[in-house]
Amino acid sequence: MIARLAAAAGRVVSTDLLIDDLWAGQPPPKALAGLQVHVSNLRRVLEPARAPRTPATVIVSAPPGYALRLPPESVDAWHFERLVVEGLHASDPPTRIALLSRALDLWAGVPYHESVDADWARIESERLAELHSTALETRAHAYLDDGKPALVVDELGRHATRNPGREHGVRLLALALYRTGRQADSLETLRRTRAYLADELGVDPSAELQGLERDILRQEPSLTMAPATPADRAFATPEIRWDEAPLTGRGDELDALRLAARQAAQEGLHVVWIGGDAGEGKSTLAQAFADEAAGSGWQVAWGRCPEVDGAPPGWPWLAVLRQFGDDEDAGTPFEAGRRTEARLIAAGARTLIVLDDVHRADEPTLQVLRHLAATARKSTSVLLCTFRPSEATADLRATWAATAGIPGSRLMLRGLGREGAAAIARQSGVSDVDDALLTDLIDRTGGNPLFIREYSRLIASEGSGAIRTTVPDGVRDVLGRRISRLPEKTVVELRRAAVLGREADLAVLAAIGQTDDDALLDSLEPALLTGIIVEPTPDRVRFSHDLVRETLYDSVPRMRRRRMHASALAALATHSPADSAALAHHAFESATPGTAADALRYVRAGAHDAEAQSSYREALALWKSAESLCEMATDPDPGELVEILIPRVGVQARTGDVIGARETYRRAIGLAQQRADPDALLRALVSWHAPVVWTIRVEPDADAFVLDAIDAAAGRPDLTGADRARLLSARVFELEGVDDEQSLAAALDARRVARESGDNRALMRALNAFGYIAFGPDLADERIANAEELRAAARAEGDEGFLSVAYFQRFLAATAETDLERAYENAELATRHAAGHQLTQMLGVVAVFEAMVELMAGRLESAEQRFTAVSTAMHEQGVASAQWIATIGRLGVGVVRGDLSALAGELGAIESMRPHAIRFPLILALLDGGEVSAATDLWASSTPYPRDYYWLGMTTFRARVAARLGDVEVARRVYEELLPFAGRIAGLDSGSLYAGPVDAALADVAELLGDVDAATRWRAAASDLVTLVSERLRERGPTASR
């Protein structure tokens, strides 16, 4: 065993090759286990003082096998080779002689003579023998250079006799004999060599030997001079190195990452996205770049997004901080983000942060990423994120859109070509990679590096037929067959580790299996050697790929899996009692009807912690799990379900599932009423704590069931000010768009009571509700002050969601005043502080606004394309009003062109579904199309538009209809209503609708009323406004598409 590892000169020898070599191709059934026993025994002999759970330093484990790690002078063969190489490159004869003499003194006969019958030993022995001959001849040459031919005769006489075919040695001996006055012996030496070559090989001596023979016969004076060293005798220094599998086939991608680093150094932060399917080598490429960057002086940190449930929110950023040496508890992901930001912008710091598998990232992780991308723009930093395109979430796509303006690049990894595939196959132990095998390998794997490596390891173990007999399910079957070759105790521990996730703490793993450290390490050793797992730190193991973990996890029967989760729960409760996410995950997975009630407390705690960390999707998943446990329990508590539904409402709303949240909201209210529990009913009624940007009602009419419950609860004499303010805020959102007067009164009361209560969270809800009502025309003067108060309260509470709403309110206030620069600024801030579904909403708001900007700039085709693109994206996200966005865009284009006739059909379809919602533009479209009778009929039954965020735009359309149809009474009334808004672009205050200048509608009405001078003035003002806005926007240029 020692000899076999020594023959590899420090390089890793795979377990398959070791087994094959040590048992001469006929291994016993449990060969791998036997190999492990040999290694363990040798380690105890070689390192008797090594402490438990510390890695071995002599016979080390390194995938896919073992390596001997010793200084070169500790192994004679290595020391001999090192001295020979140094001697070959020595610049002067005395030094060359000294080094080569030291090397030759180490020679003690045939190397590895005990195993020389084995191929591996014979090959290495022959190589060392060749090196020995080279050393003898090179020292002889140095003796001649140093004027000592007699020493050459003594040394090379025996050597030339044993090796008559080594012409260089013969030449040196013949020359030494000539210089010692033995001319006849010199010629006899050359004659014997000529005869040997002719008889044994049928060739003549080399030109060099023939020339020497002629020179001796002529007694050329040059023979007494030192012979020149032939140029072709130079040797490259072999390096004894500890091999790792190199990055293969990704040279272009690595160059692109190097370019990103140079750009970051010159221009500031650079974000790189590396996409590829499972096994394409994303993490391997990132690791190669990270190693290179670390070697160049960059500080490097990794954050891996967990593959399974049970990790704390924002986990990758907490890991990044620890790698930066910051072990202090960050508390929240956002605090971790702030500390990371400080490191990025530190003077002179060059930083690479790798976020691996961001398709699995939770909301806090992505929010911190967006925050850093926005705030650390001037730092010399690279944020490198890997992802699987097929698993990209809506949150990740929203993050791409939010960071579209940040300098960056995207690399998409594809399958390797033949050269790269062949290289990986050879690295994995396939010695003979012919064209046919390579073609099969690429066809089978699609060039996927992981799949190529796994198939190649199987081929190395079972032969080339393995690739053709493997079933089409592919790599999972390959992994399963590799795993089946491991000792049974190793597979048992791997399955336990798979239950814990991609990475496992050894102490927890030992506790689950109730085993000691040494036994656990012995069991895991074969998996480490075969590359199934790796050791990121001395106390943890990680599966080399999540496909490995999934294969092992799926191989465990469900009943046994449940018990293993129960063991994991018990172990974690002792070792990591604060890890609520992991405890909740294992509690749910291990639950039975008899244990469901106990599991529920872990799941509820995990849900509360996830919500506190703003990880709303994880919190929602846990609340759903809690409901399942409630239903599963043998003896359920009737009051438990309402206590699960109440906190679920808010997190469900924050994920964007408004319809689902509304259903949960009504269920919670109904259950609380059934139980006649007034306190639970109050908490249910105010449970919608998510920031509100769009309506939260599913139907356009008021929900009498909810509204009656709110009004009844408001009559309680024992209400606190904060609870009363929350109830009033809830009432606002039940009445908005249905009863303007009552919703405004509730909003004013909610804000007043919340201020008096001193409760910041109640105040945030009230300011959100008031700001929502203030989107209409009646409270425009209070918009900015309300938004500023909301911003202050949100900052005090650390609530990014309400902070985003504050900037959104400022955005709408700016658009109402046609202050487009301020609108852009606040829209970007609203986006920066949003997360999850709210981010998607805000990106939609910004995208619609940018489409309107294109419209006002006169780029009509671009505007229409953008409205359509936004509508498509919103439809894919499940937004109910998505189809209207494209219609609103085409409506704006029609307004600019002065003809809405083409929209009559789709506006009519909306009218049939939502009467009065878009009636006034529809009447104009009918009039533009010559359908006067239909337009008149609709006008006869029309009513004023509700005073909400679309009021100004729709009232402007109403004024134009009144002018077109000659309705003087309505025209006079609308004229007075619009006068305070002169000089504005109607609809812009909604952030999505373009209805043209208010002044143009005033001109139409003035003309109807016979005031020609006023009509002329209004028309000129409208034209000037359109021209001014258009010129400003054209100077700015087109906005980047999101």
**What is the per-residue pLDDT across 810-829, written as a single tens digit (0 to 9) for each?**
999 998 888 888 998 998 89
Please write the tens of the pLDDT for every residue from 377-400.
888 899 999 998 878 888 888 888
CA 516 from centre of chain = 36
Domain boundaries, the chain: 2-67, 76-229, 251-414, 419-485, 691-696+706-834, 835-1036
Phi, psi of 483 (to 5 degrees): -65, -35
Q: Give the mean model confidence (pLDDT) for residues 413-429.
A: 84
**DSSP reduced 3-state for 352:** strand
347 CA to centre of own chain:
27
CA-to-CA dists, residue 149 to 93, 134, 284, 634, angstroms? 13, 18, 57, 100
Helix (H/G/I), strand (E/B), else coil: 387: strand
Q: Is the pLDDT of residue 237 over 50?
A: no
At 232 the pLDDT is 35
- Enumerate the β-bridge partners of residue 541: 504
The CATH fold assigned to 2-67 is Arc Repressor Mutant, subunit A (1.10.10)
Q: How far is Cα 752 from Cα 766, in angstroms, rounded to an integer?
A: 9
State which amino acid sits at residue 955: T
CA distance 905 to 918: 12
What distances in angstroms separate CA 621 from CA 249, 392, 655, one per listed residue?
Answer: 41, 19, 11
Tell me: pLDDT of 238 over 50. no
Cα-Cα end-to-end distance for the chain: 62
Could you give the CA distance from residue 307 to residue 206 in angstroms, rounded to a whole number? 67
pLDDT at 567 over 90: yes
Alpha helices by DSSP H, listed for 429-505, are 435-445, 449-462, 466-469, 475-484, 488-500
Alpha-carbon torsion (6, 7, 11, 15), positive or negative: negative
At 933, list the tokens.
């009778």
CATH code for the part of the protein at 76-229: 1.25.40.10
The CATH-assigned architecture of domain 691-696+706-834 is: Alpha Horseshoe (1.25)
Burial of 387 (0-12, 13-18, 19+ CB in 10 A): buried
How confident is the model over 795-807, as pLDDT tens digits? 999 899 999 999 9
Arithmetic mean of pLDDT, 559-587? 93
Residue appearing with tokens 């007075």 = 976
Cα dihedral across residues 728, 731, 736, 740: positive or negative? negative
Burial (CB < 10 A; 0-12, 13-18, 19+), residue 556, is middle
pLDDT at position 471 is: 37
Q: What is the mean pLDDT of residues 337-362?
A: 85
**Domain 835-1036 architecture:** Alpha Horseshoe (1.25)
Amino acid letter for position 300: V
State how far the Cα of 263 lies from the Cα of 787, in Å rounded to an integer: 39
Task: Identify the residue whose tokens are 């929350």.
Answer: 726
CA atoms of 260 and 384, how far apart (whole Å):
10
Half-sphere exposure of 143 (CA within 13 A, CB side): 24
Q: Which residue has the higher pLDDT, 951 or 471?
A: 951
What pLDDT sits at residue 1? 82
Give the pLDDT score at 233: 36
Does residue 239 carry a pLDDT above 50? no
Q: CB–CB of 800/766 below 8 Å?
A: no
Contact 170, 190 (CB under 8 A): yes
Average pLDDT of the residues in 565-571: 95
- Give the model confidence (pLDDT) of 27-51 as tens digits: 777 777 788 788 888 888 888 888 7
Dihedral (Cα; 301, 305, 306, 310), 10-degree rounding: 100
- Let me know: does 53 contact 506? Beta carbons within 8 Å: yes
808, 845 contact by CB (below 8 A): yes
Give the fold, CATH level 3, of 251-414: Rossmann fold (3.40.50)
pTM: 0.70
Q: Bigger pLDDT: 480 or 225? A: 480
Amino acid type, 857:
A
On the question of pLDDT at 595 being above 80, the answer is yes
pLDDT computed for residue 467 by the predictor: 65
Q: Measure the CA–CA gap between 789 and 377, rounded to whole angstroms.
A: 29
Whether 92 contacts 265, CB under 8 Å:
no
Q: Using CB atoms within 10 A of its CB, is residue 882 exposed (0-12), middle (13-18) or buried (19+)?
A: middle
DSSP 246-274: PP-S-HHHHHHHHHHHHHHHHHS-EEEEE
Q: Do domains 2-67 and 251-414 have the same CATH topology?
A: no
Task: Provide the pLDDT for residue 348.
Answer: 67
Check if the beta carbon of residue 727 is closer than 8 Å to that of residue 712: no
The one-character DSSP state at 353 is E
Whether the Cβ atoms of residue 181 and residue 200 lie closer than 8 Å to each other: no
- 292 phi, psi to nearest 5 deg: -65, -45
Q: Region 838-853: what's the mean pLDDT? A: 83
- Is the pLDDT at 554 greater than 60? The verdict is yes
User: Residue 314's closest CA among 348, 275, 361, 270?
Assistant: 361
Residues 145, 93: contact at Cβ < 8 Å? yes
3-class state of residue 383 by DSSP: strand
* Cα gap 249→251, rounded to integer Å: 6
pLDDT in tens, 85-111: 888 888 788 888 888 888 888 888 888
- CA distances 247 to 30, 301, 815, Å, are 33, 20, 52
Residue 174 in this model has a pLDDT that exceeds 50: yes
Residue type present at position 404: A
Phi-psi region of 421 (alpha: psi -120 to 50; beta: other; left: phi over 0): alpha
Say if CB 867 and CB 890 are below 8 A apart: yes
In angstroms, rounded to a whole number, what is the distance separating the alpha carbons of residues 512 and 382? 40
Comparison of pLDDT for 67 and 570, the residue scoring more: 570
- Encoding tokens for residue 150? 């007699």
